[in-house]
A and B are shown apart, each in its own frame.
Chain A
């Protein structure tokens, strides 16, 4: 057993290193920065959100700016998606939200397309223009059955 002051120092260093590791896991990897009420909260209604899941990324021009915070069924029986977006963004009121897929088999995300209005969106605002998910099954269905000669082909 070493003498006490050295041992105390070593234990202190160990605890510090452990706490740093926990901090790295929680803040760097766990994405603590977007969490909570910190961000700009926007609401968007979609007719079909496809396979969009909670915490899916929200992107502008492919750059990640937030996450999907909540998905629920609205009173008008459309999907109501709450987005938690970086507070520093200045988004015009005519911003469009679209559910897109990364690649053919990739995960789904919400793409924001900023508009041209002078007026800016505030937390809790609803996005007026939305674009639903494109479902591959529906596309294939239209291709197969939409065609008059479909049955024969």
Chain B
């Protein structure tokens, strides 16, 4: 009788402990990121890895999502005779929700997993231990540049995703279905508001970027030393970061209405 209850207790206990460790690791990254030297070269390299290399998948997905969204919503709106508000519906959906969330999930899969695998491999091959032996703080040298790069790259990638997606829905709505380009544009411009929509989108993207960086580097840093454990921490990065993004998305929308 006591067995399952005790197991539940043990699970909850380890979950809370894990959360606390992750929080402390986040504070360590923050402290390391604020401490000079800032290692601009390393940050630049990480922006290349996380941002530039994710660009192709983000833009391609953006156009595809925009096109299919335009097609689906057009056929619903036509029933109510309000196809002219396609731009508004597509634009708000993309800017407020789909842009940051989908970009977050894509970047998690494309760059977050690579980040976790890289740090996990460094842990497994004792490079992290080696740095500590030489009195080099691995959080400062390896982790902080990655976190900074992710926080910079995510808003940029999200903005590019949204622009690509709007282009995709423009292609379908205006070019394929014959909506008037002026109508599409004006409904889009009237609906989108800088302070509530665009700023909210960028804020979400920034928070998601830091979330991805935290989960990926933490999982890599605490990875076991065997090949199987490195692969497990990579998988767990993708799962944890994706779930975190979806939870935070709901929380941000519920709290601040973005």
Interchain Cβ contacts under 8 Å between A and B, 20 examples: A7-B45, A10-B48, A10-B52, A11-B44, A14-B51, A14-B156, A15-B51, A17-B160, A18-B153, A18-B159, A21-B159, A21-B160, A22-B198, A22-B202, A25-B198, A26-B198, A30-B192, A30-B193, A30-B195, A57-B190
Complex contacts, B44 vs chain A, CB 8 Å = 7-8, 11
Which residue of A7, A15, A18, A64 has the most chain B CB atoms within 10 A of its CB atom? Answer: A18
A21 CA / B159 CA spacing, docked (Å): 5
Chain B at the A interface: SS class? helix
Instruction: Verify A30–B198 contact, CB threshold 8 A.
Output: yes
Chain A proximity mask over B50-63: 1 for CB below 8 Å, otherwise 0:
01100100000000
Which residue of B41, B55, B157, B190 has the most chain A CB atoms within 10 A of its CB atom? Answer: B190
Complex contacts, A32 vs chain B, CB 8 Å = 194
A7 CA / B42 CA spacing, docked (Å): 12
Instruction: Verify A25–B163 contact, CB threshold 8 A.
Output: yes
B: contact size bracket: 20 to 34
A1 CA / B46 CA spacing, docked (Å): 11
Complex contacts, B189 vs chain A, CB 8 Å = 28-29, 31
Complex contacts, B91 vs chain A, CB 8 Å = 29
Chain A at the B interface: SS class? helix
Which of A1, A4, A18, A30 contacts B156, CB < 8 Å? Answer: A18
Complex contacts, A24 vs chain B, CB 8 Å = 159, 163
In the complex, residue of chain A having the shortest beta-carbon distance to the beta carbon of B197: A30
A68 CA / B20 CA spacing, docked (Å): 47
Instruction: Verify B201–A15 contact, CB threshold 8 A.
Output: no
Knowing that A25-B201, A29-B198, A31-B194 touch, tell me 18 more A-B residue pairs with CB under 8 angstroms: A7-B44, A11-B44, A11-B47, A14-B51, A15-B152, A17-B156, A18-B160, A21-B160, A22-B202, A24-B163, A25-B162, A25-B163, A26-B198, A29-B192, A30-B194, A30-B197, A31-B193, A55-B193
Instruction: Verify B162–A21 contact, CB threshold 8 A.
Output: yes
In the complex, residue of chain B having the shortest beta-carbon distance to the beta carbon of A7: B48
B188 at the interface (CB under 8 A from A): yes
A124 at the interface (CB under 8 A from B): no
A26 CA / B48 CA spacing, docked (Å): 25
B95 at the interface (CB under 8 A from A): yes
B155 to chain A, nearest CB (A): 7
A134 at the interface (CB under 8 A from B): no
A143 at the interface (CB under 8 A from B): no
A141 at the interface (CB under 8 A from B): no
